[in-house]
Structure 1
Amino acid sequence: MPRTPEQYEAMRLATRTKIQTAAMQLFVRQGYGSTNVQHIADQAGISTGLLYRHYKTKDQLFEELVQFAMAGLETLIVKFQTSDEPAEELARFANEVYLDLSSGDDLGHLLLLMTQSFFSTETDGWKAALKQIHTDLLQATAELIIQGQRQGKLREGNAFEMAQYFFSSIQGLAMMKMMLEEKFSMPSRSLLTLVFEKEGETL
């Protein structure tokens, strides 16, 4: 019985996801320069011919992964900019980060991929885009913290410095998770938001 167009599309998407997952793991663990198309195909369990049907070059695959990560940050920025519950919004995000870093590798891979892309790319426009989205994220987070301070729900202090500390902590944990692998132990959830919390209160 021939497959339906829907079945073919599901197969195509499944293969594409396998390629992306394999590439993400290899780019993060052994570096972009040390990863070639054959490595990615082997990791995904497919032929190089099938991989080339989905991506013409390794660069195209790498850029798509970075764009996916950036789109996730753009969504987070909008969420922070439109929230009227700053303390609750930061707590929800911290919970997501804690669960992602505790139970899987996806978030860590995405964060490290963007860092890697910033230092490995030779395109000034691409670097500028990465720098801008991180600047926008820190600014949106700082404004959210200021809103929470005005509501009396968050600790007083320099909001931009708090935002930098918060995301630096997340980035550092992602790096430690990749380096230590099974020896990594995720710190308690409460430590993630300690920088924002008022004394005697928890988010």
Structure 2
Amino acid sequence: MEQNRYRYVQGPGGDPVTSRQRVAWLRARLWGVTATDARRLVTSRGQVSKQRKRLLEAKLSGWEGPRLPQFEHGIVREPVIAAWVHQRFGIHPNSHLCAGENPRHLATPDGVGAHSICEIKTAVADLDEAAGVYRDQLQWQLHVTGCEQVLFVVENRHTYRRDFRWVGRDEARIRLLAEHADAFLVDLDEHRALAIEAERRGEDYRPAALSPSGTRIA
């Protein structure tokens, strides 16, 4: 496998950051836009999402959010599914945090191969519905890694039936996601600077309501 095609985020000691080092992984993600973030920034019609402000507040506070039971189920099942993917498709399980040409564009695909990546989900939705829900997450992972296709695998949470499909790049959608992500990072940096100044003065800081117009988006 051509490991050097991927750019891995490095921690303070120079070692790659992985999701197994949860604190370091979460901290690194606070400074960029991940695949999970990308699908929270933009609506299906390409407009600024209502989730944008909550995402900004989470980045500033470092709040991870609740760990739901279905999330825990996915953590247990993912290694099993990843081993199946490796055996059948030759895509290796991955926990490394990857960076794109813009080092603040981040993703942790569940598998990486020589020419493609893999994303695994456990869900009650069927493959078609899940592919629609996670469309932007998949496109962002392709954007960050530079791969041409991602193997999307969905395992039913109740029946354990496994379905998959290959998803290719949508360059127009990727450009739109990158534009929204870059505008978000500008806002994040501005609010982070204001938060640091407020802390210096001994004051609490909460970001003001963001404009729903998304004026920085072309």
Normalised by the shorter chain, which TM-score bucket? 0.3 to 0.5
Quick check: which one's helix share is greater? 1
Quick check: which one's strand share is greater? 2
TM-score by length of 2: 0.31
Q: Is the radius of gyration larger for structure 1 or structure 2?
A: 1
